[in-house]
Amino acid sequence: MTEVRGPVTMNDVARVAGVSNATVSRVVNGHYGVSARTVEKVRAAIDQLGYESSLVATSLRRSRTKVLGLVTHSFESYTVEVLKGVMEALSGTGLDLIVYANSDTYGARSAGWEQRHVTRLAGTLTDGCIIVTPWSDVKSNAPVVAIDPVRDSMLPSVTADNLAGAVTAVDHLLELGHKRIGFIAGRSSLAAAWAREEGYRQALTRAGISIDPSLIGRGDFHRETAIAPARALLGSQDRPTAIFAASDGMALMVLEVAREFGLDVPGDLSIIGFDNVPESALSKPALTTIDQSMHRLGFEAARLLQGLVYGNSGGTRQVLVPTQLIVRESTAPPPK
């Protein structure tokens, strides 16, 4: 048992086995041109020293590392769903995943974090990256897939079918008999926000209802940003009988504002959200919403990235994941 200082390197193995480091490399990678007896010696030395090849050195020298990266600016509750989906797609492929998070931007909103991390990783360590809910566009020479990209991004991306989902949400309200339907929009720089608003407009227009700008409030997807527009909407003399919020977080805030105004949900006001976060099932009344499977988003993103990196890159570059209406307790026909 030799006591080693520092990590065991390939040279250590080579010295113990009495061969050159090139031979060790060949054995480790199962390359052709090593006699059975030498393989045996090297294997023994590897076992004796407990050698594992350095991921860093390997990826510096090699072009392909068999490792994919995922960059996120914080760990939200949906992040683990995305991760599960990614891992499921990667399972059995021999590909590993590295998740990179940077503590400086944690909580704070420092633009450009994705760019910094992607270039630091994609240059060498990883063969490609998935970016979860980016805040700005990213340039990279290695393949990058975005989940919920910014508007007009040229990146290959995976998103829920936000437009269809929003149409479904508004159709649900229309079918219940609502005519005056308010909308609280999300962060306008994101493609998802744009698509959800567009769905709202299309559904109304198709139903022969003209768009009333005073019924549209603006948030940025975060809960708190819905408070002011919700108050404006519910405080007006001709208030809507239903509100469609572009995220569950904002919808839950509308619920609170409704309580503040003494309105019964869904008696006086119907509320529908988007995302189907876990909390939406627990609110009172439970929130009707549009489900987008983050698990599925992660799965598809990983598949797409794999194709871009290892496979025939000539394929679809934009994947749309279907959404689903989840009817709970917060929607009902309008008051007479």
Contacted by 276, from DNA, its own copies, none: CB < 5 to 8 Å by type: none
Among 84, 151, 218, 231, binds its own copies (CB under 8 A): 84
106 touching its own copies, by CB under 8 A = yes
- Contact flag: residue 328 with its own copies (CB under 8 A): no
Q: How far is the CB of 226 from its own copies (least distance, A)?
A: 23
**Amino acid (1-letter code) at residue 80:** V
Distance (Å, whole) CA 22 – CA 4:
22
8 Å CB contact between 251 and 287: yes
Report 262-301 residues binding its own copies (CB under 8 A). 278
142: contact with DNA by CB under 7 A = no
| By the rule CB under 7 A, 236 interacts with DNA | no
Residue 57: other Cβ atoms inside 10 A? 11
Among 95, 184, 319, 321, binds its own copies (CB under 8 A): 95
Q: Which residue has the tokens 């914080």?
A: 74
309 — phi, psi (to 5°)? -85, -50
Q: What amino acid occupies position 149?
A: P
Binds 314, which of its own copies, DNA, none (CB < 5 to 8 A, cut-off by type)? none
**Among 1, 5, 30, 35, interactor with DNA by CB under 7 A:** 35
Nearer to its own copies, 193 or 309 (CB): 309
Question: β-pairing, 318-321 with 270-272?
Answer: unpaired
Q: How far is it, in rounded angstroms, from Cα 333 to Cα 232?
A: 22
In 3D space, the residue among 328, 4, 289, 293 whose CA is nearest the CA of residue 161 turns out to be 293
Least spacing, CB of residue 132 vs its own copies, in Å? 13
Q: Does 111 bind its own copies (CB under 8 A)?
A: no
Q: CB of residue 54 vs DNA: minimum separation in angstroms?
A: 4
Residue 249 near residue 223, CB atoms below 8 Å: yes
- Kindly state the tokens that stand for 52: 């594992």
Measured distance CA(21)–CA(242) in Å, rounded: 71
The verdict on 141 binding its own copies (CB under 8 A) reads yes
Binding residues for its own copies (CB under 8 A): 4-8, 50, 52-57, 59-60, 74-77, 79-80, 83-84, 87-88, 90-104, 106-107, 115-116, 119-125, 139, 141-142, 278
